[in-house]
């Protein structure tokens, strides 16, 4: 299978996983004891430490200072981005958040990849990008509160910046080392949250209230997040970061389908995703997104 085809397949699988993750994230920050986004971000960062199981196999090399610094920066950017994302999910619909997150992160990686990574892009990329963005605007149609919209904007910028940093990391080390040390960067960034007395107090208080069911759900969701990250990480290694991130638009398509499936079983979470006329509106958005995909690759 050609590298670019494998890259596309991996991105689509990763974005399907990410769609599931976002929906579970919304449930966790709105319906469980883990209601504070910064607390949930701490748990997400710490769980990244499971990559330490790789150490006994001798596949992880001692990093240079440059790799450590890059990994730490990736971790800090990631933790801040998910704090902003979880905050937005508390008050906005998942389909709207994902749509705008994909649009902003795509723009960020396109600009960053062009100026900092010297990436070659297909001649059709600008046209596909316009179709993706039209789809994003159609689905979101400005239904955010100002605060939620601002949170999504900055989260998308940081997600895009994180993808660029990961591509830079690949230029300095192997795939396994990049995966391991970037995850350890998440752990470091999570531990840095403990420096804040208010955050530390919230984490310890929440830890006493979390049920076994919630903790299991968090762990399983982050395990799925690890699989999604591996898929997208390897896709970035095989292809260009701008195209990989542009395909994050498909996360919305998957979220849309999953919300339709879950809205009847979990109405308290997803019944407000589709107000009168919204299904047709969002189907139109999916049309633009899928058309953008064909323009980009066919």
- Residues 242-257: tens digit of each pLDDT: 778 777 778 878 887 8
Q: Is the pLDDT of residue 180 over 90?
A: yes
Any long-range contacts for 293-296 (C-beta under 8 Å, 24+ apart)? Answer: 293/128, 293/247, 293/249, 293/250, 295/124, 295/127, 295/128, 295/131, 296/122, 296/124, 296/125, 296/128, 296/243, 296/246
Higher pLDDT, 154 or 99: 154
pLDDT (average), residues 285-293: 79
Mean pLDDT over each residue of the chain, to the nearest integer: 84
Predicted local distance difference test score (pLDDT) of residue 72: 96
pLDDT (average), residues 11-21: 92
Q: How many structural domains does the chain have?
A: 1
Give the structural domain span for 41. Answer: 3-297
Predicted local distance difference test score (pLDDT) of residue 273: 58
State the CB neighbour count (10 A cutoff) for residue 71. Answer: 26
Predicted local distance difference test score (pLDDT) of residue 207: 87
Predicted local distance difference test score (pLDDT) of residue 81: 96
pLDDT (average), residues 183-188: 95
DSSP H stretches of helix in the chain: 3-31, 37-47, 65-91, 94-112, 125-140, 146-170, 175-192, 197-209, 212-238, 241-246, 249-262, 267-270, 278-297
Q: What is the DSSP string of 46-79?
A: HHGGGGGGGGGGT-PPPPPHHHHHHHHHHHHHHH
Predicted local distance difference test score (pLDDT) of residue 124: 82
Predicted local distance difference test score (pLDDT) of residue 276: 58
Q: How far apart are CA 249 and CA 16, in angstroms?
A: 11
Band of residue 272 on the pLDDT scale cut at 50, 70, 90: low
Predicted local distance difference test score (pLDDT) of residue 201: 94
**Percentage of residues in the chain having pLDDT higher than 70:** 90
Q: Is the pLDDT of residue 279 over 60?
A: yes
């Amino acid at each position: 299978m050609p590298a670019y085809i494998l890259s596309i397949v991996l991105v689509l699988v990763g974005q399907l996983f990410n769609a599931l993750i976002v929906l579970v994230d919304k449930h966790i920050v709105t319906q469980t004891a883990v209601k504070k986004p910064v607390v949930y971000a701490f748990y997400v960062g710490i769980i990244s430490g499971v990559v330490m199981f790789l150490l006994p196999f001798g596949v992880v090399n001692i990093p240079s200072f440059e790799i450590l610094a890059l990994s730490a920066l990736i971790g800090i950017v990631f933790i801040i981005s998910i704090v902003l994302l979880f905050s937005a999910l508390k008050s906005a619909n998942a389909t709207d958040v994902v749509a705008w997150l994909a649009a902003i992160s795509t723009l960020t990686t396109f600009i960053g990849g062009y100026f900092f990574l010297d990436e070659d892009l297909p001649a059709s990329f600008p046209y596909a990008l316009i179709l993706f963005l039209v789809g994003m605007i159609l689905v979101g149609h400005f239904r955010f509160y100002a605060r939620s919209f601002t949170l999504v904007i900055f989260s998308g910028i940081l997600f895009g910046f994180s993808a660029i940093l990961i591509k830079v990391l690949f230029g300095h080390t192997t795939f396994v080392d990049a995966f391991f040390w970037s995850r350890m960067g998440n752990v470091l960034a999570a531990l840095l949250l403990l420096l804040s007395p208010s955050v530390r107090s919230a984490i310890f208080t929440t830890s006493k209230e979390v049920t076994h069911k919630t903790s299991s759900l968090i762990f399983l969701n982050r395990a799925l997040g690890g699989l999604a990250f591996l898929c997208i990480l390897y896709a970035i290694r095989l292809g260009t970061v701008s195209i990989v991130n542009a395909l994050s638009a498909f996360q919305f398509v998957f979220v849309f389908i999953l919300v339709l499936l879950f809205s009847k079983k979990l109405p308290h979470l997803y019944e407000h995703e589709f107000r009168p006329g919204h299904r047709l509106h969002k189907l139109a958005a999916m049309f633009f997104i899928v058309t953008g995909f064909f323009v980009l690759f066919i």
